[in-house]
Amino acid sequence: MRHFLIKVSKMVLSFLFLVVLVVGVTVGYEFLRVVFAPVYDATTMSLNYEIIGSGEKNLILIHGLGGSKNYWKKGLGNITRTHKLLLVDLLGFGDSPKPKSDYSVSVQIAALEKIILKEGFDKGNTVIVGHSLGAVLSLALFAKHPDWFKGAAVIGLPIFTSKAEFRKEMSTHSRFDQLAVGSYAEIVCMLRPLYMLNWFKPKNVPDDVFSDAKKHTWQSYYYSLNEVILNTDLYAIADRIKDKNILFIQGEKDKTAPLANAKRFAKTFSASKFVEVKDGDHQLFLKNPDTVWNLINQYF
């Protein structure tokens, strides 16, 4: 029995050593990816993007945290007949560059401006559509260039009164979600190659969207969360576009972006419309894209 226990102990220790080794190598590699990345240069680095459709109306589609342009590729049949769509990978996400940067609102907006001007989506007949992180950036972009756009549709807008409220909201989520936005968020993000496996993929997330969620760095994720979502004063942004057409689309069961906060914020705008989608969660677009496209078509 003693020899058996010694053998089992050695096996356990070997397994733990292997786990520590794999974790260490993964964290080290992800850390060094950022350390040796070039510093962001707006003049030489351009976002990855795609244009779909040939309609007379224009839409710019901006994804959320950890997303990519492929997020929007569900249910495109009808919308591409009436609209030309500009799908963008934000800086640090998808197949766009992932340089050393603070990933602030101003940096992301400057990168988007470059593409919008290049492709002529600045002529006043464009609606910006943003989800979550992209919803914040959509409002910031609209406020900076109100003459460029016809309006904005924001989906799952994450607006919080403070970081404390954000942490309280996330405390009701899974332990993993709490870790992903907590004090150890950078390390959790570095470990994503180990846990972003196909058997963990939610059923309503397409394969390409799930695959793209592995492409960001810990820096682009962590800084975007803090600098854009948590540190942006949306009410200050609203002051510049209070009379503009804003469509708010929020899921009734959205546990990531508080429904009450979004409703309160929407009242800031004189020409806004707030739509609460029954049974919709934070990824309501992936669950029912036709509902989102129809709402946008009807409002604009």
Torsion of CA 268, 269, 270, 275, to 10 degrees: -110
Whole-angstrom CA distances from 38 to 42, 99, 132, 159 are 12, 5, 27, 32
Scanning the structure block, which residue is given the tokens 């846990």? 195
pLDDT score of 55: 84
- The residue to which tokens 């709490």 are assigned: 178
How far is it, in rounded angstroms, from Cα 157 to Cα 235?
13
Model pTM? 0.88
Tell me how far CA of residue 265 lies from CA of 32, 47, 105, 143, 230, in angstroms: 40, 30, 19, 15, 15
Tens-binned pLDDT, residue by residue, of the chain (300 aa):
666 667 667 676 776 666 666 667 666 767 777 778 899 998 899 999 999 998 889 999 999 998 999 999 988 888 898 999 999 999 999 999 999 999 999 999 999 999 999 999 999 999 999 999 999 999 999 999 999 999 999 999 999 988 788 877 777 766 656 666 666 667 777 666 666 666 566 677 778 888 888 888 989 998 999 999 999 999 999 999 999 999 999 999 998 899 999 999 999 999 899 999 998 999 999 999 999 999 999 999
Q: Which SS3 state, helix, strand or coil, does residue 228 take?
A: helix
The rounded distance, in Å, linking the Cα atoms of 282 and 158 is: 10
**Neighbour order of strands in the sheet with 246-251:** 49-52, 83-88, 57-62, 126-131, 149-155, 246-251, 273-277
pLDDT for the residue 187: 73
**Helical segments of the chain, H only:** 2-35, 79-82, 105-119, 133-144, 163-170, 175-180, 185-190, 192-195, 207-212, 218-223, 234-238, 259-266, 284-287, 289-299
In whole angstroms, give the CA distance from residue 113 to residue 107: 10
pLDDT value for 211: 85
What is the C-alpha to C-alpha distance for residues 139 and 169, in angstroms, rounded to an integer?
Answer: 23
| Three-class HEC string of 239-263 | CCCCCCCEEEEEECCCCCCCHHHHH
Using CA atoms, how far apart are residues 222 and 235, in angstroms rounded to an integer?
23
Q: Are 52 and 60 in contact (CB under 8 A)?
A: no
* The predicted structure's pLDDT at residue 34: 77
For β-strands 49-52 and 83-88, DSSP reports them as antiparallel
